[in-house]
C-alpha cells in the first residue's frame, strides 16, 4: 500500500500536468482522438483543470479502502484519475446515459460503465457516491424546479452511499451567468443540506467558478 507522501507526490504531478497530458488540450474536433482524450467534450477547459476538480471532489477518499459510485461519469475519466494516483482501486461503478461515453470509457480506461439515467437505473450502494459536473446544466423550465430536482437527486445519492456523498456545483458569485447552466449560491446549499443532513462541508476555496459539497453519513 502506498504511503500518504507517495500519494501526495503523485497527485501533485497530475494536477500540475505534464506535456504528455496537456497536449490533449489542443486537440481539434476534427482530430481522430478528440472525443477520447480532449477535455472539452466532457466539459473542461483543460486536462489540468479536470484533474484539479477531481482532487477537490475526493478530499478524504481513498480507493484502496472505499468503493465508489460515479454518477454522470462520462468516459470514466475519474476512474482513470484514481488509477494514476493509487496502486489499487477496490471497486468503481460508473453511470452515464450516453452510449457514446460508455464506448469511450471502455476504449480509454478499459472499464465497463452502467448505461442508464440516474433515478431510474438500479445501482449498487457504494461507500462514496459522487457526481462531478452532473449538476452543471439546466434540466427544467424554471430555476426553482432545478433546485428541487437537485435536492431530490442528492437524497437518492445519500440513500446509495454508505459513508459519503460528494458533488460540485456552479457558483453565481462574481460570475457571468450563462444561459443553459445551473448556478446555486453556496450559502443556500449549505443551509438547506445542514438542516437535513447535519454533517456537511462546502469547499469554496479552490475555484472562482465551482465549489464542492460533501455530506458525511458517519
Least confident of 17-31, 34-48, 103-117, 168-182: 17-31
Res 129 pLDDT > 80: yes
Q: Mean of the pLDDT values across residues 191-207?
A: 94
Within 10 Å of residue 10's Cβ, how many Cβ atoms? Answer: 15
pLDDT at 5: 45
pLDDT at 21: 58
User: What mean pLDDT is reported for the chain?
Assistant: 89
Res 134 pLDDT > 80: yes
Res 46 pLDDT > 70: yes
Dist. CA 49–CA 207, nearest whole Å: 10
pLDDT at 20: 58
pLDDT at 61: 92
Res 10 pLDDT > 70: no
CB neighbour list of residue 79: distance below 8 Å, 6 or more residues apart: 70, 73, 89, 92, 94, 105, 109, 111
Least confident of 74-83, 84-93, 123-132: 84-93
27 touches 35 (CB < 8 A): no
Res 2 pLDDT > 50: no
pLDDT at 44: 87
Q: Please state whether beta strands 114-115 and 92-96 pair in parallel, antiparallel, or not at all (unpaired).
A: parallel
Dist. CA 131–CA 214, nearest whole Å: 11
How confident is the model over 104-118, as pLDDT tens digits? Answer: 999 999 999 999 999
Res 45 pLDDT > 90: no
pLDDT at 3: 46
Res 16 pLDDT > 60: no
Q: Mean of the pLDDT values across residues 189-206?
A: 94
Res 7 pLDDT > 60: no
Instruction: Identify the band that residue 211 occupies on the pLDDT scale cut at 50, 70 and 90.
Output: very high
CA 94 to chain centroid, in Å, comes to: 11
Grid cell listed for 71: 454518477
Q: Mean of the pLDDT values across residues 62-89?
A: 92
12 touches 86 (CB < 8 A): no
CB neighbour list of residue 141: distance below 8 Å, 6 or more residues apart: none
Q: Mean of the pLDDT values across residues 175-188?
A: 94
Instruction: Identify the band that residue 19 occupies on the pLDDT scale cut at 50, 70 and 90.
Output: low
Amino acid at each position: 500500500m502506498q504511503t500518504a507522501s507517495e500519494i501526495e507526490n503523485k497527485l501533485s504531478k497530475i494536477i500540475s500536468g505534464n506535456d504528455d497530458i496537456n497536449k490533449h488540450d489542443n486537440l481539434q474536433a476534427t482530430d481522430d482522438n478528440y472525443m477520447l482524450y480532449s477535455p472539452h467534450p466532457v466539459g473542461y477547459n483543460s486536462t489540468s483543470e479536470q484533474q484539479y476538480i477531481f482532487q477537490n471532489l475526493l478530499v478524504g477518499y481513498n480507493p484502496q479502502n472505499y468503493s465508489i459510485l460515479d454518477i454522470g461519469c462520462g468516459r470514466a475519466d475519474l476512474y482513470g484519475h484514481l488509477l494514476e494516483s493509487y496502486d489499487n482501486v477496490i471497486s468503481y461503478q460508473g453511470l452515464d446515459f450516453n452510449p457514446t461515453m460508455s464506448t469511450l470509457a471502455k476504449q480509454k480506461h478499459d472499464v465497463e460503465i452502467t448505461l442508464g439515467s440516474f433515478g431510474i437505473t438500479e445501482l449498487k450502494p457504494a461507500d462514496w457516491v459522487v457526481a462531478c459536473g452532473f449538476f452543471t446544466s439546466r434540466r427544467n423550465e424554471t430555476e426553482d424546479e432545478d433546485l428541487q430536482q437537485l435536492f431530490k437527486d442528492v437524497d437518492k445519492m445519500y440513500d446509495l452511499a454508505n459513508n459519503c456523498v460528494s458533488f460540485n456545483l456552479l457558483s453565481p458569485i462574481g460570475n457571468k451567468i450563462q444561459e443553459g447552466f445551473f448556478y446555486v449560491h453556496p450559502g443556500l446549499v449549505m443551509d438547506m443540506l445542514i438542516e437535513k443532513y447535519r454533517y456537511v462541508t462546502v469547499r469554496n476555496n479552490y475555484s472562482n467558478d465551482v465549489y464542492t459539497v460533501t455530506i458525511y453519513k458517519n
